[in-house]
């Protein structure tokens, strides 16, 4: 699951996009102009931005150029959404820094496919390949976490942050991750989060995993951070 910022001033279009993205398992924030988009990205760096070309005040192209000029947002994945279909417009959008360019009207299935393609190129962890460790299975495409226990499949209910945290741990087992590293890789460079917030979410994750006897997989490494064990055998 990824965090997507939708920058779109047409409310009906923004609502349809947001609904479909949420249905596909993404977290969505919607803003209607460039200044609100800048404020949202300053608060937390999203995994991807869907950026309308024609915005009140400042254009999406100008905003894309601003983000590309800033070291913090230089690699921010951007898909430009616009009614402008001329080749020169496409070239202008891509030259401004967009990773992809989608002309309105478009199908939601095509948009979702473009999002998956951009995230695959920019963030390997966003791939939808299921992960399994010690019988615990995580399916990114459906946001399902489960384990076979006593002959039945038991689901683990996780909040969005705990899901991302577990996804990252399972994609990088056995490696020790400091709180600062987890904030950077899981929260996405959130400028207002204290490192101790990681402890709160690790506690919640362990509590959720306790329901399928997997809480010990999340190990605390004193003075260093956390890691995911590859087996429950030692616990």
Residue 234 falls within a domain, yes or no?
no
Distance CA 32, CA 51 (A): 10
How many domains is the chain partitioned into structurally?
A: 2
* 41 and 135 both lie in a single domain: no
Distance CA 62, CA 56 (A): 12
* 137 and 56 both lie in a single domain: no
- The CATH number that applies at residue 63 is 3.40.50.2300
pTM, two decimal places: 0.55
- Provide the residue-wise pLDDT of the chain in tens; the chain has 235 residues: 578 999 999 999 999 999 999 998 888 999 999 999 999 998 878 889 999 988 988 899 999 999 999 878 888 899 999 887 677 777 777 888 888 888 888 899 999 998 988 887 765 544 567 899 999 999 988 889 999 988 899 999 998 889 999 999 998 888 888 898 888 778 765 456 678 889 999 999 999 999 999 999 999 999 999 999 988 865 5
Write out the residue range of the structural domain in which residue 77 sits: 3-126
* 98 and 176 both lie in a single domain: no
Residue 235 falls within a domain, yes or no?
no
Strand order in the sheet with 27-31: 27-31, 3-7, 48-52, 78-82, 100-103
Domain boundary among 126, 152, 182: 126
* 110 and 157 both lie in a single domain: no
- The CATH number that applies at residue 212 is 1.10.10.10
* 140 and 76 both lie in a single domain: no
């Amino acid at each position: 699951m990824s965090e997507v910022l939708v920058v779109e001033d047409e409310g009906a279009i923004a609502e349809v996009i947001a609904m479909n993205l949420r249905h596909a398992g993404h977290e969505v924030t919607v803003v209607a102009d460039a200044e609100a988009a800048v404020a949202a990205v300053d608060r937390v760096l999203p995994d991807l931005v869907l950026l309308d070309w024609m915005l009140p005040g400042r254009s999406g192209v100008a905003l894309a150029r601003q983000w590309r000029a800033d070291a913090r947002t230089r690699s921010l994945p951007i898909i430009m959404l616009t009614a402008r279909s001329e080749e020169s417009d496409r070239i202008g959008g891509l030259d401004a820094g967009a990773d992809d360019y989608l002309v309105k009207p478009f199908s939601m299935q095509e948009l979702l496919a473009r999002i998956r393609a951009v995230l695959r190129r920019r963030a390997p962890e966003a791939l939808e390949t299921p992960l399994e460790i010690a019988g615990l299975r995580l399916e990114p495409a459906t946001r399902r976490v489960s384990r076979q226990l006593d002959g039945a499949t038991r689901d683990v209910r996780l909040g969005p942050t705990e899901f991302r945290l577990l996804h990252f741990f399972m994609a990088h087992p056995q490696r020790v991750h400091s709180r600062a590293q987890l904030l950077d890789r899981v929260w996405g460079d959130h400028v207002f989060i204290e490192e101790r917030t990681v402890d709160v979410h690790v506690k919640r994750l362990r509590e959720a995993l306790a329901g399928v006897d997997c809480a010990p997989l999340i190990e605390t490494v004193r003075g260093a951070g956390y890691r995911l064990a590859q087996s429950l055998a030692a616990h």
